Chain A
Amino acid sequence: MPDPAARRSPIHDALKERGAESRLVGGVPFAVRLRDEPTEREAMQSLAICDLSGLQKLGVKGRDAESWLSGEGVEVPVDIFESCPFSDGGVTVRFGADEFFLEDGVANMSVASLDERLHSRRGQVFRVEHQEATFLLVGPQSIEVLAQTCGINFREAPPRQLVFTRVAGVNCTVLPDFVGDIPTHRFWVEPSYALYLWEVLVEICESLNGSVVGADIFFRNCPR
């Protein structure tokens, strides 16, 4: 059986250098905290960025993908680029007519369970490996970070609607959403570009007095 504890975020070393405290969530290591909780909670109110790359991901593609997912009890978005909640704090996104992407929620167990059942599927349903890095920009000023890195007007981007774009010159998928009433932007980027994009986003965040925080802000504040 694969050992999820052997997985590492593409920016593991960068977070370690900042003194991040690590913890397994669903068997996968996360950098959960860099400072004390009140400080990180306060940072969320204006601008913060954290790494959620350890959230398990799964892609399902093929003619029978939608019916298979529905059969597994997964709520499936109707329109392309739309998203639905999955698990608790997770998300299901429709990439195309026959392609779906799932990212796990705070327990980080549901995707693995679904993945196992995918191996024994019948019909035209194919597994797509997803190892993207996931970064979460939190706070009202996250719009300013996007303004410096992307040509899309995110002020007018509807929440929970996917945006395929380029951020700081790399292909990226962005999902605007909320944690409570705090705006968030979730980035998915190919792991080979992850460290580069992280460094750019952190540089800009810090120039706007934002800070790097741990994944616990997501685990503790996601609606369940």
Chain B
Amino acid sequence: MDRRLPPREGEWIDRSRPVKFRFEGAAYTGFAGDVLSSALWANDVRLLGRSFKYHRPRGIYSLAGHDANVMVEDGRRTNIRGDLLSIEPGLDVRSVNTSGGVERDRLQIIDWFGRFLPVGFYYKAFHTPRWLFPFYENRMRKVAGLGRIHPDNKYPPSPKDYAYCDLLVVGAGPAGLAGAIAAAEQGLQVLLVEEQPRPGGSLTWQWAGEPAADQHLFGLLEKVEAFDNIRIRCGTQVAGCYGDHWAALIDDDRLTKLRTKSMLVAAGCFEQPAVFQNNDLPGVMSASAAQRLIHLYAVKPFGKAVVLAANSDGYRAALDLHNAGVVVAALVDLRHDGEPTKLAQMVADVGIVSHTGHAVYEALPARGKKRICGAVICPLDRDGNPRTESSIRIDCDGIAISVGWTPNVGLIYQAGGRFHHAEQVEQLVPLELPAGLFAAGRANGVFDLGDQIDDGCRAGLAAAAHLDRFDGEIPDSPKHQVAAPTHPYPIFAHKRKKNFVDFDEDLHLQDFENAHQEGYDNIELMKRFTTVGMGPSQGKLSNINAIRILARLNGASINETGTTTSRPFHRPVPLGILAGRRFHPQRRTPMHNWHVQAGAEIMHAGAWLRPEYYKAGGQNRDDCILNEAANVRNNVGLIDVGTLGKLEINGPDAVRLLEHLYTGRFRKQQVGRLRYGLACDETGVIIDDGVIARLADDRFYVTATSSGAAAFYREMQRWALIFDMDVTLINATGQLVAMNIAGPNSREVLQELTESDLSKDGFPYLGVREGIVAGAPAKLMRVGFVGELGYEIHVPASYGLHVWTTLMQAGERFRIRPFGVEAQRLLRLEKGHLIVGQDTDALTNPYEADVAWAIGKNKPFFVGSRSLDIIQKKPTTRCLVGLAFGDDQPRPMPSECHLIIADGEIAGRITSIAPRSTLGHSIAMAFVTPELAAVGTRVKIRADDGCIVEAHVAKMPFYDPESTRQQ
């Protein structure tokens, strides 16, 4: 059956664009502009989902995404709300939470066992007998949860962005539109956000057909269009409100991080359910859902309807249904006095029978419960209890409910607003709002249409005044004059206990009474025990009724009962949107691509990408590393050390600062010479090391460790200020690159590319020169980190690749090879050179690390000197020593951080280890207790699986102990 109505003004569908889609394997047609729920209803498909616990049939309830009845998955995304999912060609979705499809869901049998599954049953069941628990857990995991994740799906990252405005208006209904206009008139930059696809809010469906309402809608929209300083974003929710008016906006594509100076919440209300038997079945829906179907999607909601009302909105809904061709069999008004406005007469004039002081007691299910076939209504006594002895059965296929509203003010709660229950409107209204936050319209308890617009205007002006852009008089909020639009207790007991308070969690009225009986008599406890409001709709349709029930059970007022805490997000947000495009900065030297093309295996060193080793001729990793190292020892190699820290200290107090920062002495250091620098913190712990090169009397060039450079530079700046030094500090780490050419043939290779005198006499060990290398301005330093004749070449970054490739070309006849980080670590270990942060930890002082020689004798002061004076007088507790292993390679080899064991106690740990070296045996550095530190002492190392490997303490350096090769 096609339920589509003839074309009507203001409909959101485009009848010129039919759209074919599939639901549960069956093909349907809708129109562009339809959402899944409306398109299915138009095709007379009423069974749209299954409930979470009992797998009861469900259909449209709010048609606004306020409920979670219609949730589908499309094979890529899951838990998509059918009320908000626009249909597009090729859409193919299935309902979540079914076993065998929504029609034949095998788990619907659980509904029959409802009496055995009261609220909180899982706290009492399943724990005995204990041996059965794994079985229970396995079964529960299989049936629980909503939707399936498809880990193989790849998604492009969604963009995230920042946005800014003077005023964020939440909700583009009458109050929101009016507020935006009022604020924009005062010059504010306004961002108007609406969660529905089009602006207008309730003006598009609730007042539809009334000329005044239409005029308001078009007039407001026209005015908004005319302002350049109003931006509208539809299809966007304000998902959360954080400190300092930071709001998260979510749409289908992205997360926007909005910083606003003020916020106006005009987000309207959620229409509340009535609680009666079978109030959850397909065909029972809110009156606003029925009106949305009619006015937005041109779909006839029912053939024959009963309208349950407790306010004027219900009467409007009855008229809308009638005008859409629905037979309104009865209008059931909970109020004994009925509707006080002319709407009552209008309803009577079209022949709708009203039953005042009555309630819908039960919705009668058709076979299979996939739709309803009637309603049972009862008169109410003066206490509001149904008199079932006088019940009337009315045939119908739909019940539209309009018994009240609860404000959509989660954002105000999140922002720290406080509310109180106002009896004149029977809803929570703002009591206290934080500075810069405003509420208007029905969210503020203002229901008359004209009053909503005035209230919006008031709030817009108040926002402008808050930002000092308006200094006129701000009117008060309009007061609600007529009957409350919300019934105080639309909740009716039924012995068969399928009268649902929370549709998401399948909680019925008795569940709350049972929970209260067990002692959960506080709203927070009630929430957690029953799980009310903890489902996907986050309590939008259930929280206020739960509060009413608890208040009645406690004999308390709504204000005394209180509410639970609202936290972001206000509506479920896909994790993919939150993740979005992520930034993972990576640092590369200019030679990076060269390394990759040369077969480098790239490793991550912090944010840097560095060559670990270069793959060569099918060799395994260890062979490659060893061969690179051997080539340096025997020939010439080139390594990219561009990650090194490079700092300049210039000025009259440069020497003073160096003497303060480092343990060594620099006053008498000659221009053109290097010295080793060791830096400690105030507790005497080693924090960095490097070389200090004197370029001129007042100019020093300093290297630092790659990982410590930024922090060490900050320390330099700090101490320069504290000591009031006249220095100019420069961090050139990222501006220069460095490479180290090392090996017996390094001089020959480099000499081809520079006119600087590289001879032993012209450029001795620990010298520094400035010159030109391969056409690039360069600093050259004779250092011996790897223990061979070598030159460290520092050039501006833009010259880096050119110098590197030129060196490689010049070195071809010497069979130059690049070597990577691992080969360098091996070479320096052979030379006994420590790496700060590798062979030292957060407590290592120079005495333990065997670098006390770097402490200048009789220096009056340096950072850490006082602590080191104290430390020196105490016994050392550990020593950094070299270890050598026997010629036969033990298996397995220990790794860094493996412990040294003596007499069953921990006596140290490995800090660096090379299973293979150019020396032909394994070597390591380790901390050991002083008793084990003597050369020749045998030590035991516990490797993986508890194996003990033996080594002996060896003198360092292991290689070239006289350091003749690097001279």
Q: How far is the CB of B618 from chain A (nearest CB, A)?
A: 28
Interface centre among B590, B593, B699, B777 (most CB of A within 10 A): B590
| Residues B593 and A13 in contact, CB atoms below 8 Å apart | yes
Given known contacts A10-B797, A53-B798, A191-B797, A196 and B732 CB-to-CB distance under 8 angstroms: no
Using Cβ atoms and an 8 Å threshold, which residues of chain A touch B586? 193, 195-196
Asked whether B728 lies within 8 Å of A130 as measured between CB atoms, the reply is: no
Q: Quick check: is B525 within 8 A (CB to CB) of the other chain?
A: no
Q: Judge whether B802 and A6 touch: CB under 8 Å.
A: yes
User: What 1/0 mask marks residues of chain B from 860 to 874 whose CB sits below 8 Å from any chain A CB?
Assistant: 000000000000000
Smallest distance from the beta carbon of B214 to chain A beta carbons, Å?
Answer: 36
A137-162 near B? 1/0 per residue, CB < 8 Å = 00000001001111101011000000
- Decide yes or no whether B10 CB sits under 8 A from chain A: no
Q: Which of A61, A126, A169 has the most CB of B within 10 A?
A: A126
Contact (Cβ within 8 A) B162 A195: no
Say which residue of B259, B798, B799 sits within 8 Å of A153 (CB atoms): B259
Residues of B contacting A: mostly: mixed
- Is B651 among interface residues, defined by CB-CB distance under 8 A? yes
Report yes or no: B776 in contact with A190, Cβ–Cβ below 8 A. no
- B residues within 8 A CB of A5? 775
**Known A-B contacts A6-B799, A8-B802, A61-B730; A207 and B775 likewise in contact (beta carbons under 8 Å):** no
- Closest residue on chain B to residue A144 by CB atoms: B161
Are the CB atoms of B728 and A6 closer together than 8 Å?
no
Task: Determine the chain A residues whose CB is within 8 A of the CB of B776 once the complex forms.
Answer: 2-3, 6
B residues near A24, Cβ cutoff 8 Å: none
Bound-state CA distance A10–B587 (Å) is: 11
A-facing residues in B691-738 (Cβ within 8 Å): 699, 726, 728, 730, 732, 734-736
> Which A-chain residue is minimally distant from B774 (CB atoms)?
A6
Query: A193 to B642, alpha carbons, bound, how many Å?
Result: 13
Instruction: Determine whether A200 belongs to the interface, using a CB cutoff of 8 Å to chain B.
Output: yes
Residues of B within 8 A of A155 (CB): 164
Stretch from B414-422, B456-464, B577-585, B808-816 at the A interface? B577-585
Do B650 and A62 touch across chains, with their CB atoms under 8 A apart?
yes
- Cβ A126 vs Cβ B650 within 8 A: yes
Q: Bound complex: CA of A59 vs CA of B650, how far in Å?
A: 14
Residues of A within 8 A of B590 (CB): 8, 10, 191
**B586, B592, B797: most-surrounded residue (chain A CB, <10 A):** B797
A130 touches B730 (CB 8 A): no
Known: A3-B775, A7-B802. A196 touches B587 (CB 8 A): yes
Residue of B nearest to A203 (CB): B581
Task: Determine whether B688 belongs to the interface, using a CB cutoff of 8 Å to chain A.
Answer: no
Contacts of A62 in B (CB 8 A): 650-651, 728
| Contact status B651-A207, CB under 8 Å | no
Interface residues of B in 714-767 (CB under 8 A from A): 726, 728, 730, 732, 734-736
**Known: A148-B581, A207-B159. Contact between A2 and B798, CB under 8 A?**
no
B side interface size, CB within 8 A: 45
| Residues 111-143 of chain A, each 1 if its beta carbon lies under 8 Å from chain B, else 0 | 000000000000010101111100000000000
Partner of A98, one of B163, B585, B728, B772: B728
- Residues in B with CB closer than 8 Å to A207 are 159
Given A8-B802, A62-B651, A131 and B159 contact (CB-CB distance below 8 Å) = no
Q: In the complex, what distance in Å separates the CA atom of A124 from the CA atom of B259?
A: 44
Considering only residues 48-64 of chain A, those with a C-beta below 8 Å from chain B are: 53, 59, 61-63
Q: Is B494 in contact with chain A by the CB < 8 A criterion?
A: no
Contact between chains at B162 and A153 (CB < 8 Å): yes
What residues of A have a CB within 8 angstroms of the CB of B772 in the complex? 1-2
| Count of chain A to chain B residue pairs whose CB atoms are closer than 8 Å in the complex | 119
* Contact B735–A126 (Cβ < 8 Å): no
A1 to B584 alpha-carbon distance, docked (Å): 39
**B928 shortest CB reach to chain A, Å:** 39
Q: How far, in whole Å, are A124 and B726 apart by their CA atoms in the complex? A: 10
Contact B798 A128 (CB under 8 A): no
Tell me, rounded to whole Å, the shortest Cβ–Cβ distance linking A122 to chain B.
12
A3 cross-chain contacts in B, Cβ below 8 A? 775-776
Q: Are A131 and B798 in contact (CB under 8 A)?
A: yes
Residue interface mask A174-186, B partner, CB < 8 A = 1: 0000000000000
Q: Is B648 an interface residue (CB 8 A)?
A: yes
Chain A residues within 8 Å of B608, by CB = 192
B residues less than 8 Å from A197 (CB atoms): 585
The 7 A-B pairs with the shortest beta carbon distances in the complex, nearest first, are A3-B775, A190-B734, A169-B583, A7-B798, A192-B587, A6-B802, A131-B797
Asked whether, in the complex, the Cβ of A147 is within 8 Å of the Cβ of B802, the reply is: no
Are B728 and A126 neighbours in the complex by a CB distance under 8 Å?
Answer: yes
**Neighbour of A2 across the interface among B159, B164, B777, CB < 8 A:** B777
- The residues of A that contact B730 with a CB separation of less than 8 Å are 59, 61, 126, 128-129
Contacts of B163 in A (CB 8 A): 147
Q: Does A9 contact B (CB under 8 A)?
A: yes
| B118 interface contact, C-beta 8 A | no
Query: Is the Cβ of B585 less than 8 Å from the Cβ of A129?
Result: no
- In B217-253, the 8 Å CB interface with A consists of none
Q: Is B915 an interface residue (CB 8 A)?
A: no
Is A170 touching B802 in the complex (CB atoms < 8 A)?
A: no
Q: Is A84 an interface residue (CB 8 A)?
A: no
Shortest distance between the CB of B155 and any CB in chain A (Å): 14
What would be 18 A-B contacts, judged by CB atoms less than 8 Å apart?
A2-B799, A7-B802, A10-B588, A10-B590, A10-B797, A62-B651, A124-B651, A128-B732, A131-B797, A149-B583, A156-B164, A169-B585, A190-B734, A192-B589, A196-B586, A200-B583, A204-B581, A207-B159
Alpha-carbon separation in the docked complex, A169 to B407 (Å): 40
Interface residues of B in 590-642 (CB under 8 A from A): 590, 592-593, 608, 642
List the A side residues contacting B799 at CB < 8 Å.
Answer: 2, 6-7
**Contact for B735 among A7, A61, A144, A190, CB less than 8 A:** A190
The digit string for B40-83, where 1 denotes a CB below 8 A from any CB of A, is 00000000000000000000000000000000000000000000
- In the complex, are the beta carbons of B734 and A191 less than 8 A apart? yes
Specify which chain B residues have a CB less than 8 angstroms from the CB of A150 in the assembled complex. Answer: 162
Q: Give bound CA distance, A81 to B798, whole Å.
A: 26
Question: Whole-angstrom distance from the CB of A123 to the nearest CB of chain B?
Answer: 11
Determine whether A168 belongs to the interface, using a CB cutoff of 8 Å to chain B.
Answer: yes
CB distance from A223 to the nearest CB of B (A): 27
**Complex: how many Å from CA A156 to CA B159?**
22
Whether, in the assembled complex, B796 has its beta carbon less than 8 Å from a beta carbon of chain A, the answer is yes
Among A6, A8, A53, A129, point to the contact of B736 (Cβ < 8 A): A129
User: Does any Cβ of A come within 8 Å of B160's Cβ?
Assistant: yes
- Chain B residues with CB under 8 Å of A13's CB are 593
Residues B589 and A148 in contact, CB atoms below 8 Å apart: no
Residues of B contacting A63 in the complex (Cβ-Cβ under 8 angstroms)? 726, 728
Q: Is the CB of A9 within 8 A of B798?
A: yes
Determine the distance from Cα of A39 to Cα of B633 in the docked complex, in whole angstroms.
56
Report the Cα distance A163→B648, complex, angstroms.
25
B801 within 8 A of A: yes
For B732, give the chain A residue with the smallest CB separation. Answer: A129
Chain B residue numbers with a CB within 8 Å of A151 are 162, 257
Q: Residues of A contacting B650 with CB < 8 Å?
A: 62, 126
Complex CA gap A81/B874 in Å reads: 52
Q: How far is the CB of B783 from chain A (nearest CB, A)?
A: 20
Closest residue to A129 on the B side, CB-wise?
B735
In the complex, are the beta carbons of A170 and B585 less than 8 A apart?
A: yes
- Picked from A124, A129, A153, the residue with its CB within 8 Å of the CB of B796 is A129
**Which residues of chain A are within 8 angstroms of B774 by Cβ–Cβ distance?**
6
A130 to B736, alpha carbons, bound, how many Å?
9
Nearest-neighbour CB distance to chain A for B168, whole angstroms, equals 14
Please, which residues of chain A bring their CB within 8 A of the CB of B798? 7-10, 53, 131, 191
Instruction: Using CB atoms, name the residue of chain B closest to A169.
Output: B583
Q: A2-B777, A169-B584, A192-B587 are in contact. Are A61 and B802 (CB under 8 A)?
A: no
When C-beta atoms are compared, the residue in chain B nearest to A146 turns out to be B162
List the B side residues contacting A131 at CB < 8 Å. Answer: 734-736, 796-798
Tell me, in angstroms, the Cα distance from A214 to B652 when the chains sit together: 45
Instruction: Give CA–CA (A207, B160) in the complex, Å.
Output: 13
Query: For residue A156, which residues in chain B have a CB less than 8 angstroms away from its CB?
Result: 164
Given A124-B728, A169-B583: A195 in contact with B159 (beta carbons within 8 A): no
